[in-house]
Structure 1
Amino acid sequence: MKRFKITMAVVASAALLLSGCGGDPAGPRSDFDPNAPVTLDLAFWGNDTRAGFYQSAIAKFNEKYPNITVNSTFLAFPEFWEKRQIEAAGRDLPDVMQFDYAYLRQYSQNRLLLDLKPYLGKYIKTDGFTESTLGIGVVNGVTTALPVGTNAWAMFTNTALLGKSGGTPYAGGTSWDEYATWMGSVTKAGGGAVWGGTDPTGRIQNFEITLRANGKNLFDDAGAPQFTKAELTAFWSGGAQVRGAGATIPTKRLLEVAPKSGFGAGLTASELTWDNFGAGYAGDLGADASGLALAAPPVTKAGAKDLYLKPSMLHAIAANSEHPEAAALLVDFLVNSQEAGEVFGTNRGLPASSTHLAGVKLDPLSQKILDYETSIKDRLGQAPPVPVVGYGSIEEKFRQLGEELGLGTVTVEQAVDQFFSELDTILKK
């Protein structure tokens, strides 16, 4: 949560600095020589472990391109974006950057990122990507980034906890009412020590998939909301009914175990979240992590294409790069090569490129995630438009109001009014 608040503060303060920047280079040079000496700057967020992976990958890249020197730097996530903000103002971004989805529209619309289309197929191979995953990095019809890894909205369950409490496994892909009934049965079996889950109406992604089941996204391509006050009122009213039935863990109990979630603390048997949260849950649960399982989330309408693949992170090239062809070769290696797959494993998420995935030795949990994403293929639709500028603040406001609804400090009508007021303020910035 701290990462989120700092991140959105950076986005807000960067808006003016990023506006009015120039355009991209015309495209690849016909006289590019991959054997000519070139130096590239590569920036990513992470820790010493990830830095070690990048150094190993760069060494393998240099076996192919010994004359391309890559200078890499890394920072923690908030500091990474603070530095990019300063560089963007001076149009001096690193050649290649690890990129976050929440920032892609902002940097793309201000023409700070290279249009990759002229480089696709020539310097960056695309045969490992599906049409859907290639579309993830497209903003206003322009490809400005490529996904490194993907994840999907999922239901995590703890079969070990269910076994101890006497609950039955969740079948997956039920209706929302059936899921609420299942949570109630687990809570009853848990006798006050285990709950079936957390109120799902506290997460904007659950609202999103109910909209997508009816052919809508949260926002359209122009950034306008595609939902009404009536739709949000109905969604949050449903949460009040579930909470009132005692099926979900009380919000006060969740606050007591924060920053862990109820699922990570071993108090709930299910949790709806992105499937790449599995490693974090495994760390939180320790010995009980062997019971981690994934199932499809509840569905609003049978046959709906309500789920989609979201990038865990992306790679982009700065429009100000003096060596876009060499940068494109580096991006290709980092997102496509089996050699990089062998180095990184799933550190950057489940690989989006099949050629990259071929080099990864999957651990048992990563295999479960891959199996899960394969199992939901019939529910996967086109990814929604790239998040609007300020989406992180919108998501956080939704979560905060969901928490207040759980505590009973606001009514559904008050929460809806507050959310739309905040939404209007953010979208007008």
Structure 2
Amino acid sequence: MFRTKRAFPALMMAAAATLSLAACGGDAATSTPEGSETFNADEKVTLNFTWWGNDDRAERYNTLIEAFNEEHPNITINGTFTDFPAYWEKRQTEAAGGGLPDVWQFSDSYLRQYAEPGYLLDLGTVADYVDMDTFEDGLKGTGQLDGVQYSLPTGYSTWANFVNEDLIAEHGLEMPEGGTTFAEFGEWMSGVTEKTGGAVYGGTDITQRIQTFELALRADGKNLYTDDGELGFTKEELKAFWESGAAMRDGAGIPQNKLEEIAPKSGFGAGMTVSETSWSNFLGGYLADSGAQSIAMVAPPTAKEGAKDLYRQAGLQMAISADTEHPEAAALFLDYVVNSEKAGEIFGTTLGFPASSSKLDGAVLEGPDKQVADFLDSVADRIGDAPPVPVVGYGALEQKFWDLGKALGLGAVTVDEAVEQFFAEADVILG
């Protein structure tokens, strides 16, 4: 099902783009989209580029930037990164002050929030420098709003359950089964914590994450949000969901105060929990953070056997700021990140399973990358249609959900209080 070796030399695509830029009239000036100035391919420019992630992702991006500079030595890339919450707080501040980076790692969760006010460049205006024909329509559509292409996905993922097999062997534990009920998975977590005496914990309270709630809703044919931009669930449903995590917060899972001490690293990344649910592209980062030799991927718990609750999430994207002074150079770099075989070679599946056919050509799917590919294949029958385009403010609500989940773990709020706070926030954000 998956290609396992490169079809062409890794830099052929980027090299071809460079040659095409230099081929007009024997000089560096080239044609550009209507309404823009002539682009000089030799002009020295500097681009600011930023992303969220860990040290493993940063190392890969730095390697990619070095490869890009071999093809485009005149374009300097200034790269920076932070963790996910801080990342979006900074973007919000920059948007208000007109200082967004030229190219930035983006999320479809924020598409409406940044596209509707005009913060994102219409990629159609730089179509000469970005190949969009390498994406399936469904994946390309994750970066579209009202027919305009504002971002492109680096890859796609599904929700997964990661298990540290080193800790399983060390403590003589049993592996969890994939696709169990939420209650059965909670019982497994409790058994791990009890058997090890808390030396390691079964996992983290899975009801902290809005994605777990989303799976439960999708199992009943619902979504987090409606097509009209309203919440797709009731207070009673959210209350029942958070109440179902009581046992995980009361000893089965790692105590939240321990997680606060090691933040931003997760309990799983720190080797303090045996399992963690997250997006399938996290495998490479988890291996790097935890130092584990072997991490298994199994299907996450489900609220209903046979449900089509999973979906291809192409949330990790790349976008260009509308006010960049160098749109063509920014487009060249964006294209290199999402399309080049070199990006496929360097990142494998760590930015999601490659969404672009040309990037996939560069990915050698072996080791962890082959493991992710095999996992996606194993849950294919459980993958349903993608949810509606995220509403404006989805990212803020996702973070609010997570913050309240952690507050529940600390005993700072009751379930009833958390539900009221979430809906109050939703009323403000969704209007």
- Distance in 1 (CA, whole Å) between partners of 2:410 and 2:95 is 42
SS in 1 for 2:175: coil
In structure 2, the partner of 1:276 is 281
TM-score of the superposed pair, with normalisation by structure 1: 0.77
In structure 2, the partner of 1:59 is 70
Amino acid at match of 1:408: G
| Residues 338/197 of structure 1: CA separation in 2 closer, same or farther (3 Å cut) | same
- Distance in 2 (CA, whole Å) between partners of 1:206 and 1:311 is 17
The match for 2:48 among 43, 46, 53 is 43
SS in 1 for 2:313: strand
Superposition deviation, residue 398 in structure 1:
1.9
Equivalent residue runs for 1:61-210 within 5 Å: 70-77=75-82, 82=90, 86=94, 96-116=103-123, 124-210=130-216
Superposition deviation, residue 343 in structure 1:
5.1
In structure 2, the partner of 1:393 is 396
SS in 2 for 1:72: strand
SS in 2 for 1:56: helix
Superposition deviation, residue 159 in structure 1:
1.6
- Distance in 1 (CA, whole Å) between partners of 2:168 and 2:301 is 19
In structure 2, the partner of 1:341 is 344
- Distance in 2 (CA, whole Å) between partners of 1:117 and 1:124 is 9
- Distance in 1 (CA, whole Å) between partners of 2:154 and 2:59 is 19
Amino acid at match of 1:358: D
- Is the 8 Å Cα contact of residues 354 and 360 (structure 2) preserved in structure 1? yes
In structure 2, the partner of 1:267 is 272
| Residues 426/312 of structure 1: CA separation in 2 closer, same or farther (3 Å cut) | closer
SS in 2 for 1:309: coil
| Residues 33/371 of structure 1: CA separation in 2 closer, same or farther (3 Å cut) | farther
Superposition deviation, residue 41 in structure 1:
5.7
- Distance in 2 (CA, whole Å) between partners of 1:39 and 1:221 is 45
In structure 2, the partner of 1:372 is 375
The match for 1:293 among 292, 296, 300 is 296
Q: 1:216 and 2:222 equivalent?
A: yes
Q: CA RMSD in A?
A: 3.6
Amino acid at match of 1:179: F
- Distance in 1 (CA, whole Å) between partners of 2:262 and 2:129 is 49
- Distance in 1 (CA, whole Å) between partners of 2:313 and 2:331 is 22
Aligned residues: 391
SS in 2 for 1:163: helix
SS in 2 for 1:310: coil
- Distance in 1 (CA, whole Å) between partners of 2:407 and 2:325 is 50
Superposition deviation, residue 35 in structure 1:
8.4
Superposition deviation, residue 298 in structure 1:
0.9
Superposition deviation, residue 141 in structure 1:
4.0
Superposition deviation, residue 256 in structure 1:
4.8
- Superposed CA offset, 1:286-322 (max 9, x none): 2xx1131111111122332322333463223444568
Q: Structure 1: which 5+ runs fail to align?
A: 1-26, 63-68
Return 126-135 or 264-273, whichever deviates more: 126-135
- Distance in 2 (CA, whole Å) between partners of 1:114 and 1:410 is 41
Return 314-323 or 304-313, whichever deviates more: 314-323
Counting aligned pairs with the same residue, the percent is: 47
Amino acid at match of 2:416: E
| Residues 156/380 of structure 1: CA separation in 2 closer, same or farther (3 Å cut) | same
Superposition deviation, residue 206 in structure 1:
0.7
- Is the 8 Å Cα contact of residues 161 and 291 (structure 1) preserved in structure 2? no
- Is the 8 Å Cα contact of residues 40 and 96 (structure 1) preserved in structure 2? no
- Distance in 2 (CA, whole Å) between partners of 1:400 and 1:29 is 46
Amino acid at match of 2:118: R
- Distance in 2 (CA, whole Å) between partners of 1:417 and 1:30 is 50
In structure 2, the partner of 1:225 is 231
- Distance in 1 (CA, whole Å) between partners of 2:36 and 2:198 is 71
Return 173-182 or 399-408, whichever deviates more: 399-408
Amino acid at match of 2:137: E
Q: Structure 2: which 5+ runs fail to align?
A: 1-31, 52-57
- Distance in 2 (CA, whole Å) between partners of 1:79 and 1:294 is 28
In structure 1, the partner of 2:26 is none
Amino acid at match of 1:264: G
Superposition deviation, residue 421 in structure 1:
1.5
| Residues 405/332 of structure 1: CA separation in 2 closer, same or farther (3 Å cut) | closer
| Residues 58/159 of structure 1: CA separation in 2 closer, same or farther (3 Å cut) | same
Superposition deviation, residue 185 in structure 1:
2.8
- Distance in 2 (CA, whole Å) between partners of 1:127 and 1:137 is 14
- Distance in 2 (CA, whole Å) between partners of 1:80 and 1:235 is 27
Amino acid at match of 2:149: T
Amino acid at match of 1:410: V
TM-score of the superposed pair, with normalisation by structure 2: 0.76
Amino acid at match of 1:72: I
- Is the 8 Å Cα contact of residues 254 and 262 (structure 1) preserved in structure 2? yes
In structure 2, the partner of 1:29 is 34
- Superposed CA offset, 1:180-234 (max 9, x none): 2222332333233233222211111111111122222222344321111011011
- Distance in 2 (CA, whole Å) between partners of 1:258 and 1:36 is 43
In structure 1, the partner of 2:414 is 411
In structure 2, the partner of 1:248 is 253
| Residues 252/107 of structure 1: CA separation in 2 closer, same or farther (3 Å cut) | closer
- Distance in 2 (CA, whole Å) between partners of 1:299 and 1:227 is 18
Superposition deviation, residue 115 in structure 1:
3.3
- Distance in 1 (CA, whole Å) between partners of 2:417 and 2:424 is 11
